[in-house]
Amino acid sequence: MKLKIVTNKINNYISKIEKITGKNLNLPILNCILLEAKKNQLIIKSTNLDLGVEISLTTEVKEEGIIAVPGNVLKNLLSNISDDNILLKTEKDNLLISSKNNTSIIKSYSNNDFPLIPKIDSKNSIKIDSKKLLKGLKSVWYSASTSTIRPELSSVFVSIKNNYLYFVATDSFRLAEIKIPIKIEKEVENILIPYKNIPEIIKIFEDSEGDIEVNFTKNQISFKYNNIYLTSRIIDGIFPDYKQLIPKEYTTEIIVLLNDLINVFKIINIFSNKFNQVNFNINPKNKLFEIKSKNDEVGENLNKINAALSGDELNINFNYRYIIDSFQSINTDSVILQFNGNSKPLVIKGVSDNQFLYLVMPMNK
């Protein structure tokens, strides 16, 4: 292999895909990035078997070749080279990287051990606007379970139905759903993407504009945009019938400025206990909305919040961190908090926003 390439060009993509590599002691090849030079292209690949990405960069290739080198070493080196261009060259089965002011040699691994990245056919192909796809993933993925005991809960559920693109995630304590209008007649159900893959998908496609081609089979889903191809494992399972968890009526409702809630929760963070428990005291008759937190070692705090209240009086506890997580997905100035008694979930929505919905289960006193 021998080629010259713009430093920023390769560094940008290596920094995006390096985190896909891991610290796999049993399979050190998975800690590597594969570089393949052919036909005036440099192809870079990274995989952890659960997620794989392949990126093609156009450049002048003087000698074709292929080599696998540790991803963290390559990333750290490239991020510290300030010269405009670099030369990549295989030398005695290792990778030589040189520029005007720097020369380095990185030891390589056998590229024959590098796993194949699955290629998915286009039988089940759809095109989705990249902004809508990323908005959907960002809006819900934090609500997925971090435990792998129930794989279907450690995933983001994606489906297309009635010209809506649905994204849902739940860990059984809270649930986030967003439905985004799209113009796709095809209906797709029950795609479960592992939640741990979502941040990397978002990072790799965050600069994209226009449509992303999505292909899927029973076991894999792929995303293709210009010179980027990414594939992820799909979880084999059935997502819970979450629709039955969403209350159809409410006994207490609060409309409040989102910024007021954010400021209150910043103070609550100081006084909350190890369970992150806060108390909501709601009395619509007396126009009273209070949020209290207490920590035996720190002290206690009481906040009175201006809000529009209606319905029944209520005193209920929540994990405040679950509530504040939802604020990143709300794009309106005001939010609606809807309650249906002490044992039923709180529903959070943006005012005049019928796309995003968030449920939080109460805590026992």
In a domain, 119, yes or no: no
Note the pTM of the prediction, 2 decimals.
0.92
pLDDT beneath 70, residues of the chain: 365
End-to-end alpha-carbon separation of the chain, Å?
66
In a domain, 13, yes or no: yes
- How does pLDDT run across 328-363, given as a tens digit for each residue? 999 999 999 999 998 899 999 999 999 999 999 999
User: Which CATH number belongs to the domain containing residue 144 in this structure?
Assistant: 3.10.150.10
Same domain, 265 and 223: no
Same domain, 131 and 90: no
CA distances from 85 to 41, 75, 88, 100 (A): 16, 15, 10, 8
In whole angstroms, what is the distance from residue 271 CA to residue 278 CA? 9
Residue 36, domain extent: 2-113
| Domain termination site, one of 80, 113, 146 | 113
Same domain, 166 and 210: yes
Count of domains in the chain? 3
In whole angstroms, what is the distance from residue 227 CA to residue 55 CA? 6
- Give bridge partners of residue 222 from the DSSP assignment: 215, 231
Same domain, 72 and 149: no
pLDDT of residue 130: 96
Same domain, 129 and 92: no
